[in-house]
Amino acid sequence: MYQEIKNIFQVHFDQEPLLVYSPGRINLIGEHTDYNGGFVLPAAIDKKMVVAIAENGLKTCRIYSVDFKEEFAFEIESFSPKPSHWATYIMGVVAQLQQAGYPVRGFDMVFGGDIPVGAGLSSSAALECAVGYGLSALFDFEIPRISLVHYAQKAEHTFAGVQCGIMDQFASVMGKKDYAIRLDCRTLKFEYFPIDLGDYQLMLIDTKVKHSLSESAYNTRREECEAGVKAAQKIDLAVRDLRDVSLELLERLEVSDVVKTRCKYVIEENQRVLDACEALSKGDLESFGKSVFASHQGLSQEYEVSCKELDFLVDYAKNESEILGARMMGGGFGGCTINIVNKAHVDRIKKEVRQQYQALFGRNPEFYLVSPEEGSGRIG
């Protein structure tokens, strides 16, 4: 893949580029907790966005997307968001670096990768992070990793219009081979958490659907959580995030039932991350798996960000004794489930799921065996 992207760059721009990558991510548990100042347990994976980049001495930036087979150009001194277009993620990062005072000059770029789009593996965050990392390397800005995380997240807010939390970009830039990251999204303190599943392994099952609701519903969920926080602050001034709200306090709030149910999910999910980490550190995979199933139950019934395809896959997993835990992953409304599967049964399970899913939904699910990998880096 690296060589292919490099070759395309050379053919297109007749120069030797610098090559960098940033990976997609999984999340073991802790969904929709990041923007609530809570805990998450993501990891980078070996599916990557690769960026080839070189200075061009112009005031124009020229970009070629290998996957879309499409070119896009913008003026470095004047550009604006282009919602729903891939270039918006790139321009969003350039804008962030400029605002932070980094003198980005004209560049040529080719990018591509193997992170399936719309599968909930954060291909857009990976692109943003790869662009930030690439620009920093190209112009010797030496931007600290944690700042790259912030610029990439802000690019998503300001240019893509999704009020995402910090999890995806953090995992993409900070990932470490064989470790998940237990991240406190309020303080950004984190701990690398060894992932050793013994006879088990992580398998993603891609529903191959992405319902159109996902972006608007994401922002609505955020607002519902904020409504809960505001109401809690009327009673307890010390509350900053849902993290500070107990289930007892939640009961007393004057908010709609919907807001209460959403907040209940978040408060319980936060606790589940801590419980799951405790179980993992003791090697207690069964308890870990139970927390993972419980997470899905909450996401589906209380937070209401699942869909019938995801629910089907998790129900299948609940009835399969060789899967210890399964849940939807990421923002929701499609994408992948993450499953903790006995290695010896992976092939049989794939076959069964494929048959049943195909019969019910008329499309083929995709399977990805994943393990924690390194975050953003330079190639060569």
Burial class (CB in 10 A: 0-12, 13-18, 19+), 248: exposed
Phi, psi of 181 (to 5 degrees): -115, 115
Radius of gyration of the chain (CA): 21
Distance (Å, rounded) from C-alpha 82 to C-alpha 202?
36
108 phi and psi angles, rounded to 5 deg: -110, 145
260 alpha carbon, distance to own chain's centre = 26
Q: Is 168 a catalytic residue?
A: yes
Contact by Cβ (8 Å): 168, 122: yes
In terms of CB distance, is 34 or 373 closer to ligand GLA? 34
Q: Cβ 258 to ligand GLA, closest distance in Å?
A: 18
Give the pair of three-digit tokens for residue 117.
């789009």
Q: Which is nearer to ligand GLA, 132 or 331 (CB)?
A: 331
Q: How far is the CB of 254 from ligand GLA (least distance, A)?
A: 26
Residues found near ligand GLA in the complex (CB under 6 A): 31-32, 34-35, 122, 164-165, 167-168, 330-331
Residue 113 or residue 165: which is nearer to ligand GLA going by CB?
165
Amino acid in the structure at residue 290: K
Rounded to the nearest whole angstrom, what is the least distance from the CB of residue 369 to ligand GLA in the complex? Answer: 21
Q: Please, what is the minimum distance in Å from the beta carbon of residue 330 to ligand GLA?
A: 4
Catalytic hit among 168, 206, 241, 311: 168
Residue 118 phi/psi, 5° resolution?
80, 10
Nearer to ligand GLA, 331 or 375 (CB): 331
Active site residues: 168
